[in-house]
């Protein structure tokens, strides 16, 4: 039997007794791979084999690339110069790279000027081979470049210009056929032109200080050129509650992590191919029912998944349905769904614990243990005891009331009693009549102020206003109108045709 023995030789190129670069055969690039990573080299070794097809010079001390640096390595397909203090390139630095198809130049100290990008850089390639690599033609002022134009980039697949201190770059042209673009770590102070990346499938803009985003990300002119985008990363940009629409409906993976979103900033049902949204490490406390319904629908249609780690949720009484959804819905990516969660009393727990004890919490929120404070003036005592108390406290679904003239213990200052009642209550009902508004005593105004000070984000709509008699909404103090939502202001007279039955149901 004839056997073929394939021997792969790994050897090193040495200078004296010092080991410099490891060289081995690499199947991917069909030749020798010179690995010079992390050798503290200040220049490219000139004694490497001339027939190498891949060269990794990352994590060294290259500060300048002089003319003809790579001239002898004419078979290079892959060149990696990532993570060097590189700040200057001479016009003929890349002369001779006839076959180069992948060029990594991220995390250097390149600037948007002609020292880093001289006008003739890459320009000296033979005409018949220019189709293999992108030539750079830089136009603009002497200190700040407004436009970088890549030419002859038919075979260029990946462009990595991350962390190169590019400021205020308005336009990069000539990359219409590039599929992977990484501009992370650059500081864009103005609107960026994405038209050159119209066929890009992957675009990364991580930590770019997208100061223009808050005004322009929702505009049609920003993301509309990305006709083929599948992966978009705008993480670590301090983005808040802005709309990211419209993004191309070709989007598959959207990374919005490490921002300041308090909800999902897109309509997921508008993206039929979207299968993953990374919302980790944002400021999401809960999602409303409409958003949750759309997420579930997106899961049914295209198996959408949502990454949620790093958010701290609110487990308040108003959000129990959200917490139950969070643990049960198939749209959540994480297998372990025990996310951090804040209870009404401010203590920290986990969503799994809340779900396991949700019946107890539900009784706390809606049963006999739920406290509701009724604030009123002396003239309205008959209405409170003849109407409010029978309908709320003495009914089939009772709500425990705090009534200041009944529940403030003898000897306790009335102000302390009112504050204690409000603090220990879930909601406050202010019964306001003309007598209340005209009450010259300090207690009417004090009770309003005490109720306003009790409002927190953990208990939404904490104040409910019940208007009695001819008093109108516009008669209410402005400070109260600024806090209480319109839906939480009820007029007793509006319910008279229904015999008050619906009024008490709405208040409960």
Assess contact for 215 and 191: CB atoms under 8 A: no
Q: What is the pLDDT of residues 270-321, one digit of tens each?
A: 899 999 999 999 999 999 999 999 999 999 999 999 999 999 998 887 788 8
9 pLDDT more than 60: no
pLDDT of residue 41: 94
Highest-confidence range of 46-50, 95-99, 252-256, 493-497, by mean pLDDT? 252-256
CA–CA dist 10, 168 (Å, integer): 46
Say how far apart CA 20 and CA 38 lie, in whole Å.
10
Asked if residue 246 has a cis previous peptide bond (ω within 30° of 0), the answer is yes
Q: Could you give the count of Cα atoms lying within 13 Å of 353 in the half-sphere of its Cβ?
A: 11
User: 197-207 burial, b for 16+ CB within 10 Å, e for fewer?
Assistant: bbebbbbbbbb
Determine the 3-state secondary structure of 144 from DSSP.
coil
For residue 188, pLDDT over 90 is answered with no
Whole-number average pLDDT of the chain: 80
- Structure confidence by residue, pLDDT tens digits, 121-134: 666 443 333 333 33
Return the pLDDT at 308. Answer: 95
All structural domains of the chain, each given as residue ranges with its CATH number in brackets, are 7-156 (3.80.10.10), 252-361 (3.80.10.10), 367-507 (3.40.50.10140)
Q: State the residue for tokens 């039997």.
A: 1
Cα Dmax for the chain: 111
Instruction: Give 40's pLDDT tier (boundaries 50, 70, 90).
Output: very high
Q: Is the pLDDT of residue 232 over 70?
A: yes
Q: What is the mean pLDDT of residues 482-490?
A: 91
Q: Helices marked H in 13-156 — which ranges?
A: none
Q: Output the six-digit token pair for 215.
A: 């005004």
Two tokens at 256?
Answer: 């919005």
pTM tops 0.75? no
Looking at residue 457, its pLDDT comes to 65
Q: Cα(216)–Cα(222) distance, rounded to whole angstroms?
A: 7
For residue 355, pLDDT over 80 is answered with yes
Q: Which two tokens stand for residue 158?
A: 């990946």
Q: Tell me if residue 135 falls in helix, strand or coil.
A: strand
Least confident among 5-14, 57-66, 224-233:
5-14
* pLDDT tens, residue by residue, 380-411: 888 888 888 888 888 777 777 888 778 888 88
């Amino acid at each position: 039997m004839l056997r073929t023995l394939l021997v792969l030789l790994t050897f090193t190129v040495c200078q004296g007794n010092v080991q410099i670069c490891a060289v081995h055969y690499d199947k991917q690039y069909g030749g020798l791979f010179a690995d010079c990573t992390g050798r503290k080299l200040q220049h490219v070794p000139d004694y490497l084999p001339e027939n190498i097809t891949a060269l990794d010079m990352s994590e060294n001390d290259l500060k300048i690339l002089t003319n003809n640096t790579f001239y002898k390595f004419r078979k290079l397909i892959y060149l990696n110069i990532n993570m060097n203090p590189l700040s200057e390139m001479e016009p003929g630095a890349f002369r001779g790279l006839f076959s180069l198809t992948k060029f990594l130049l991220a995390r250097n100290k390149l600037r948007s000027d002609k020292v880093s990008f001289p006008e003739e850089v890459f320009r000296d390639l033979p005409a018949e081979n220019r189709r293999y690599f992108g030539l750079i033609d830089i136009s603009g002022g002497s200190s700040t470049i407004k436009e970088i134009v890549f030419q002859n980039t038919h075979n260029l697949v990946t462009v990595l210009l991350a962390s190169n201190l590019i400021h205020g770059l308005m336009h990069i042209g000539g990359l219409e056929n590039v599929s992977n673009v990484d501009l992370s770590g650059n500081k864009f102070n103005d609107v960026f032109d994405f038209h050159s990346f119209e066929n890009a499938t992957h675009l990364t803009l991580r930590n770019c200080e997208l100061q223009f985003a808050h005004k322009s990300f929702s505009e049609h002119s920003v993301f509309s050129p990305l006709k083929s985008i599948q992966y978009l990363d705008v993480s670590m940009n301090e983005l808040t509650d802005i709309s990211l629409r419209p993004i191309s409906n070709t989007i598959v993976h959207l990374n919005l992590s490490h921002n300041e979103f308090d909800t999902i900033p897109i309509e997921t049902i508008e993206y039929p191919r979207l299968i993953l949204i990374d919302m980790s490490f944002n400021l999401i406390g809960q999602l409303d029912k409409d958003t949750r319904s759309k997420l579930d629908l997106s899961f049914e249609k295209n198996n959408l998944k949502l990454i949620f780690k790093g958010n701290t949720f609110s487990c308040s009484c108003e959000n129990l349905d959200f917490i139950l959804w969070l643990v049960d819905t198939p749209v959540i990516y994480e297998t372990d769904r025990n996310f951090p969660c804040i209870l009404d009393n401010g203590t920290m727990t986990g969503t799994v614990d809340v779900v396991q004890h949700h019946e107890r919490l539900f009784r706390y929120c809606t049963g006999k243990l739920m406290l509701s404070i009724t604030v009123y003036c002396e003239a309205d005592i008959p209405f409170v005891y003849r109407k409010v108390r029978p309908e709320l406290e003495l009914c089939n679904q009772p709500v425990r009331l705090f009534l200041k003239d009944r529940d403030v213990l003898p000897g306790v200052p009335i102000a302390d009693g009112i504050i204690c009642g409000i603090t220990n209550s879930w909601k406050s009902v202010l019964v306001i009549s003309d007598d209340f508004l005209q009450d010259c005593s300090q207690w009417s105004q004090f009770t309003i102020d005490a109720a306003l000070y009790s409002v927190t984000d953990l208990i939404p709509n904490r104040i409910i206003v019940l208007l009695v008699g001819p008093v109108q909404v516009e008669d209410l103090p402005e400070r109260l109108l600024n806090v209480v939502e319109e839906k939480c202001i009820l007029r007793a007279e509006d319910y008279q045709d229904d015999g008050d039955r619906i009024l008490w149901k709405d208040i409960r």
